[in-house]
Amino acid sequence: MRKVITLADAMLFDFLISMETQLIWYGHAAFKIKTAADKILLIDPWVTNPAFARGKDELTSLDRVDLIFLTHGHSDHVGNAVEIGKRTGALLVSNFDLSAAMISVLGYPEAHTSNATTGHLGGELSLLDGEVTVRFVPAWHGSSIQKDGKSPPVYAGNPTGLIIALRGGPTIYHTGDTDLFSDMALVKRFHKIDIMLVCIGDHYTMGPDRAAEAVKLVAPRTVIPMHYGTFPVLTGTPEAFERELKKRKVKARLGVMKPGETLAP
Ligand SMILES: [Zn+2]
């Protein structure tokens, strides 16, 4: 007899598959993703940021990393990428200009970058034999790289947001650092976003009200606020963000994480 797959079966199946994906917030804009096939991905890996007390230990214990994604070149996003890349051989995934500046200014190992992992706005790359795809989308911000605090900034291209789709797992949109812009509505037209990682801190990016408006445009299943509370000037709070989401009747589930916490979406 042919087994009929019910909606409940399908939902349970979805749930079991996505259970295997883990998303860990390191604080600020830094995330670690463990895929269903046990690949390790990092986004904007400032692991030793001041909001993450276990940052130094975590950095030492990162011995296996497959891909490092960067949204732009500022030091609070590049973070510990070079050290991790040198130690683990992780491939750098970023736009062309940022990749070039990472190599020439900060010494990211050139052997761990390639055309296959370097793209640009609008492009979609298939990575790790199709296990992961990434699309580079716009972000309204700046992007430059400095060797250290006293060195002049070097051009690092346009900043980006990243839409990372995992085979057998969720599609994740990391906004990067950005203001609200109306073209965020285009994300929804091309991708069904399961998890949106959205900056809410204000001062250098949009704050809670404009971030809530961005979530409304993208319509994700779950939204996780980031890029707040790391420094005193980043004044946006999850509480204010929640109020702004409610005001706009946004349906997305709000997932507020603590630095070091794991979400199995
Ligand atoms: Zn930033």
Whole-number Å distance, alpha carbon 262 to ligand 1 midpoint, is 22
Whole-number Å distance, alpha carbon 76 to ligand 1 midpoint, is 5
pLDDT of residue 164: 98
What separation in angstroms does the CA of 193 have from each of 13, 34, 92, 212, 221?
Answer: 18, 18, 23, 15, 7
pLDDT of residue 14: 46
**Contacts within 8 Å (CB) and 24+ apart, 184-187:** 184/214, 184/217, 184/218, 185/217, 185/218, 186/137, 187/137, 187/163, 187/217, 187/218
Whole-number Å distance, alpha carbon 228 to ligand 1 midpoint, is 9
Whole-number Å distance, alpha carbon 227 to ligand 1 midpoint, is 7
Fill in the amino acid letter for 110: E
Q: List the shell of residues around ion ligand 1, using CB closer than 5 Å.
A: 76, 177
Beta-bridge mates of residue 23: 33, 263
Whole-number Å distance, alpha carbon 142 to ligand 1 midpoint, is 10
Whole-number Å distance, alpha carbon 71 to ligand 1 midpoint, is 9
Whole-number Å distance, alpha carbon 110 to ligand 1 midpoint, is 25
Whole-number Å distance, alpha carbon 10 to ligand 1 midpoint, is 39
Q: In terms of C-beta density within 10 A (0-12 exposed, 13-18 middle, 19 or more buried), how is residue 12 classed?
A: exposed
> What token pair was written down for 132?
């992961």
Whole-number Å distance, alpha carbon 199 to ligand 1 midpoint, is 9
Whole-number Å distance, alpha carbon 255 to ligand 1 midpoint, is 20
Q: Which DSSP state fits 94?
A: E
pLDDT of residue 20: 86
* Interatomic CA distance for residues 219 and 81, integer angstroms: 31
Whole-number Å distance, alpha carbon 132 to ligand 1 midpoint, is 24
What are the tens digits of pLDDT across the range 186-205?
A: 999 999 999 999 999 999 99
The model's pTM is 0.92
In the chain, which residues have pLDDT < 70?
1-19, 264-265
CA 86-73-23 angle, to 5 degrees, is 70
Whole-number Å distance, alpha carbon 30 to ligand 1 midpoint, is 10
What separation in angstroms does the CA of 2 have from each of 5, 6?
Answer: 9, 12
